[in-house]
């Protein structure tokens, strides 16, 4: 019986440490494509917040840039699309990827869909929520290099004695003084940072690697 328990313990420990020590590896397709530049299209939007795509977009660019990738300027890309007759993200996402490559010359395109964005109300509290799905596609082959999900939520507890009316007044005031805009951008950045920089996220980009090597030399 003691031998059986000892063997069971050893097996459990080996499985535990074996799983913990196995790092996530980027897909073979990602490593082969080795993208340096990424074109981020304005996200499609399933949330009620009509401004969600462009509020969200700037925070995604920041997360990718910090990870070490060149990201095409958001507003220039959006304006170019509109100048050429593509006025909404759904239309932009339908453009063949080889056509995008002919214009921008990007290594990969990031497609994003927003499913939840903004303030959600409960009985005595509200939360600022951001949830989105992203897919990175190789511009030359059309192969999906990576897929990920972004989610972050921050709650505002108004206390058990707060009335629903007071909560709604606070929400209106948030809109007037633009507190909600600041908060939702903050939540978006955290959601994207967690998606890009987690063990299943993007490997370090070439510019991040070069920067770290330079910093190491200067120490």
Give me the mean pLDDT over the 152-178 stretch: 60
| Per-residue pLDDT tens over the stretch 22-75 | 445 678 889 999 999 999 999 999 999 988 998 898 888 889 999 999 999 988
Instruction: Report the relative pairing of strands 70-71 and 44-45 from DSSP bridges.
Output: unpaired
Q: Residue 175 has what pLDDT?
A: 52
pTM of the model as a whole: 0.79
Domain ranges of the chain: 27-203
For residue 196, give the nearest of 124, 136, 126, 118 by alpha carbon: 136
Residue 104, pLDDT > 70, answer yes
The pLDDT-based confidence of 17 (bands split at 50, 70, 90) is: very low
pLDDT of residue 12: 44
CA proximity to 135, closest of 208, 54, 25, 29: 29
Mean pLDDT of 157-171: 57
Element (H, E) at 95: none
Q: Which residue bears the tokens 């913990």?
A: 20
pLDDT at position 127 is: 83
Interior CA angle at 45 toward 48 and 85, to 5°? 120
- Taking Cα atoms as reference points, which of 190, 75, 179, 178 lies closest to residue 132? 190
Q: What percent of the chain has pLDDT over 90?
A: 50
> For the domain bounded by 27-203, which CATH number is listed?
3.40.50.10610
Closest to 150 (Cα-Cα) out of 4, 40, 10 = 40
Count of alpha carbons within 13 angstroms of residue 96, beta-carbon side: 5
Which pLDDT score is estimated for 174? 53
- In the structure encoding, which two tokens stand for residue 76, read together? 């220039």
């Amino acid at each position: 019986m003691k031998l059986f328990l000892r063997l069971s313990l050893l097996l459990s420990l080996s499985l535990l440490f074996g799983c913990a020590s196995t790092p996530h590896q980027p897909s073979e397709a990602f490593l082969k494509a080795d993208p340096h530049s990424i074109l981020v299209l304005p996200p499609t939007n399933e949330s009620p917040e009509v401004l969600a795509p462009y509020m969200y977009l700037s925070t995604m660019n920041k997360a990718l840039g910090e990870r070490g990738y060149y990201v095409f300027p958001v507003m220039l890309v959006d304006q170019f699309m509109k100048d050429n007759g593509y006025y909404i993200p759904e239309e932009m996402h339908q453009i063949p990827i080889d056509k995008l490559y002919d214009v921008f010359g990007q290594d990969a395109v990031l497609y994003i869909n927003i499913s939840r964005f903004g303030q959600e109300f409960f009985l005595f509290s509200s939360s600022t929520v951001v949830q989105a799905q992203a897919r990175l596609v190789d511009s030359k082959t059309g192969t999906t290099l990576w897929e990920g999900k972004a989610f972050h939520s921050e709650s505002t507890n108004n206390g058990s004695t707060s009335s629903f009316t007071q909560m709604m007044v606070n929400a209106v005031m948030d809109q007037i003084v633009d507190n909600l805009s600041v908060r939702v951008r903050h939540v978006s950045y955290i959601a994207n940072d967690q998606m890009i920089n987690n063990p299943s996220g993007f490997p370090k980009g070439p510019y991040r690697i070069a920067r770290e090597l330079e910093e190491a030399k200067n120490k």
